[in-house]
Structure 1
Amino acid sequence: MANAILKLTTVLILLIFSTLHDSHFASSTDVDEDHEDINEEEEEEYVLDTRIPHLGPRSRFLATIIKKGRQCNLETNNICNGVRANKGRDLLFCCKKHCRNVLSDKNNCKVCGNKCKLGQRCCDGVCTNVLSNASHCGKCNKKCSPGDSCGSGVCGYA
Structure 2
Amino acid sequence: MATTLPLIKLVTILSIFIIPMTLIAHSSLTSDVEDEEDEWVMDDQFLSQIVRPGSRFFASKIKKGVRCHEVTNNICPGISVNKGNGLLQCCKKHCRNVLSDRNNCGSCHQKCGFGELCCNGLCTNIAHNVDHCGDCDQKCPSGVKCENGSCGYA
With the shorter chain as reference, the TM-score category is 0.7 to 0.9
Segment of structure 1 superposing worse, 146-155 or 111-120: 146-155
2:42 is aligned with what amino acid? L
Larger Rg: 2
The residue aligned with 2:37 is 43
Give the one of 66, 69, 79 matched to 2:75.
Answer: 79
Does the CA contact (< 8 Å) of 1:119 and 1:130 recur in 2?
Answer: yes
What RMSD, in angstroms, separates the aligned Cα atoms of the two structures?
Answer: 2.3
CA offsets 1:79-103 (integer angstroms, 9 cap, x no match): 0011000111110000011100001
- Distance of 1:36 and 1:148 partners within structure 2: 34
Aligned length: 125
1:123 counterpart = 2:119: yes
Q: Give the counterpart of 1:135 among 113, 131, 138.
A: 131
User: How does the TM-score come out when normalised to structure 1?
Assistant: 0.71
- Which amino acid is the alignment partner of residue 112 of structure 2? C
Unaligned runs of 5+ in 2: 1-26
- 2:50 is matched with 53
Give the whole-Å Cα distance in 2 for the aligned partners of 1:86 and 1:31: 28
Q: Contact between 1:53 and 1:63, CA under 8 Å: does it hold in 2?
A: no
Report % sequence identity.
50
The list of structure 1 runs, each at least 4 consecutive aligned residues, that deviate by more than 4 angstroms after superposition, is 30-33
Q: In structure 2, what is the equivalent of residue 88 of structure 1? A: 84
Q: Which amino acid aligns with 2:148?
A: S
CA distance in 2, matches of 1:94, 1:86: 17
